[in-house]
Amino acid sequence: MDDVERVFDRMAADYEELEPWYEHLYTRVHAIVRETLEPPARGAAALDAGCGTGFQTAVLDTLGYHTHGVDIAAALLAVARRRTPQARFVRGRLEALPYADRVFDAIVCCGSTLSFVADPAAAVRELGRVLRSGGRLLLEVEHKWSADLAWMAVSAAAGDRLGYGVSAATLWRALARPLHQSCVLPYPGYGRLRLFTAPEVGRLLTDAGLSTTRTWGIHSATGLLPSTLLHRRRLPGVVRPMYAALCALDRWVTRVPGARGLASSLVVLARKA
């Protein structure tokens, strides 16, 4: 078992108890899934890649797909099977998906799955391989140039006052590379996360034979608060109404050109030619 498996197997018992950060993320992601991934025909097949406990699997199932899910964490898959027993779940890695070529009409890969993969390029190529011609991929990734990166820098400069667990030296080493490239940084409770840039995601998709058709940003306005404040079971009383207002603003601001530049999560819809 590798470090990523350990991290997520440990989370299985309370993975369903969403922190405020993830409540907003999945509300937005599920709305985008319903908006963009209507089945093209009866009997269409969909894959939830990095399905975890099956949040997106259940949404795909309600849309009418023959739904599959794949994840590396056995404990999370056990929860997913209870949630959506009619779906087919297997244990596997994105870099070597256990499916034949061109079998899915739609794929979702959300929950920052790609940020935990050792070889993102290989993973995206595999997603492209199992997607049928004309099929759609909805990919959500952690974004590098976000407002939360600024909070991380403030925290590092102040001796980690905000609890990001990143020193100024660690942050500098991670960012001392070309601006368009991703970087890898630790995050409390999750181990090391890869933060992607929009141009890099575009190149990964192009190299896999996919073309970007639309992009959204999530956690742009909510980035006015440090993410470490929102990764907890309950928010302090004074923060709750402020965060609710920022979530409402975030749903609107995602439509504004340029607003995605501050988003902590990028959601990309791509199509296979």
> Is pLDDT at 5 greater than 90 in this prediction?
no
Provide the β-strand partners of residue 141.
Answer: 266
> Is pLDDT at 258 greater than 80 in this prediction?
no
Mean pLDDT, residues 230-253: 92
Show Cβ contacts of residue 14 under 8 Å, excluding neighbours closer than 6 positions. Answer: none
- List, for residues 16-35, the tens digit of each pLDDT value: 678 999 999 999 999 999 99
- List, for residues 181-233, the tens digit of each pLDDT value: 999 999 998 889 999 999 999 999 999 999 999 999 999 999 999 999 999 88
Looking at the domain 3-144+193-272, which fold is it?
A: Rossmann fold (3.40.50)
- How many residues make up the chain in this entry? 273
Task: Locate the domains of the chain by residue range.
Answer: 3-144+193-272
- Distances in whole angstroms, Cα of residue 141 to Cα of each of 62, 132, 162, 215, 220: 24, 22, 23, 11, 14
Q: How far is CA 75 from the centre of its chain?
A: 19
What mean pLDDT, rounded, does the chain reach?
Answer: 92
pLDDT at 95: 96
Show Cβ contacts of residue 216 under 8 Å, excluding neighbours closer than 6 positions. Answer: 28, 32, 254, 260, 266, 267, 268
- List, for residues 83-106, the tens digit of each pLDDT value: 999 999 999 999 999 999 999 999
pTM of the predicted protein model: 0.94
Residue 164 corresponds to which amino acid? Answer: Y
Mean pLDDT, residues 244-254: 91
Provide the β-strand partners of residue 131.
Answer: 104
- Alpha carbon dihedral 35, 41, 44, 50, in 10-degree steps, equals -10
* Cβ proximity of 127 and 68 under 8 Å: no
Based on its alpha-carbon atoms, the radius of gyration of the chain, rounded to whole angstroms, reads 18
CA distance 263 to 53: 25
pLDDT at 15: 66
